[in-house]
Amino acid sequence: MFRAARTDTGLALALAGLDSDGAEAVGIVGRADYLRLLALGVSPSLASQILFDGSGQANTWRSDQLAFAAACDAVAAATARRTERRPSRFTPERRRQFLEYLQAGMATTKAAAEVGITTAAVYQRRRRDAGFAAAMNQSTAARSTPEPTGAATDAQWTAFYEHLAVHGVLRQAALAAGIRPEAVYDRCRSDTDFAKQTDRLRTRRE
């Protein structure tokens, strides 16, 4: 019974001696849900939108019930401390790799996914960091595809395999080795062994 009460609000209220359909119980559940959302990191305005369609119910409770107001402040403070302690996922290494992918011609969304960050994190960083915004612009402007210069050399293919084993991206590996990406795709279609080898290298990274 107690285990079921963890997720059954009506049962929990019944065990507390309250009528789950009564006004008092409805208010308790509403306040508890509001605090739960705050603890998850949801802003007060969004929590009100989710639970109360944007009405000022939560503000009314805060004004009328000092205990509820204190609980809201305590949860907000704890959430802020947790956010401050959380290390940034946009590390210098990820920043470097992201910019390299951009320069290689990869789209922003794809480059972000490759280094393990969200596109939203990229644009948030861009808005607040002028240096990063300039680096993004520079990387995009520097995009280039090697001109066809005949067949790739053995050394270039070796460099391609090495880069692919580390990063797992065909286009990035081709550009890093000075090979046209189109040449890689053509070889994958015409050379079964080559296609299998590239697939193994990409899968090994995953």
pLDDT digits (tens, 9 = 90+) for 88-137: 577 888 889 889 888 887 778 788 888 888 877 888 888 888 889 889 88
Residue 5 vs residue 158, higher pLDDT: 158
Q: What is the pLDDT of residue 148?
A: 47
Q: How far apart are CA 123 and CA 67, in angstroms?
A: 39
Helix (H) or strand (E) holding 158: helix 154-167
Residue of 168 and 161 predicted with greater confidence:
161
Examine the pLDDT at 174 and tell me if it is beyond 70. yes
The rounded mean pLDDT for the chain is 79
Among 89, 150, 153, residue whose Cα is nearest residue 124: 89
* Per-domain boundaries in the chain: 2-85, 92-141, 154-205
Mean pLDDT in residue range 146-150:
48
Average pLDDT estimate for 175-187: 81
Residue 6 has pLDDT above 60, yes or no: yes
Give 13-24 pLDDT, tens digit per residue: 777 777 767 777
Whole-angstrom distance, CA of residue 178 vs CA of residue 171: 11
Taking only the tens place, the pLDDT of each residue in 46-96 is: 788 888 776 778 888 888 888 888 998 888 877 766 555 545 577 888 889
Residue 196: the pLDDT is 85
Helix 57-64 and helix 66-85, axial crossing angle in degrees, nearest 10:
110
Residue type, 29: V
Provide the pLDDT for residue 64.
87
Percent of the chain with pLDDT over 90: 0
Q: Which pLDDT belongs to residue 199?
A: 84
Question: By three-state DSSP, how is residue 168 classified?
Answer: coil
User: Rounded to 5 degrees, what angle do the CA atoms 180, 182, 186 make?
Assistant: 125
User: What CA–CA distances, in Å, run from 21 to 11, 28, 115, 164?
Assistant: 12, 11, 50, 61
Q: What does the pLDDT read at residue 202?
A: 75
The answer, as to whether pTM is greater than 0.75, is no
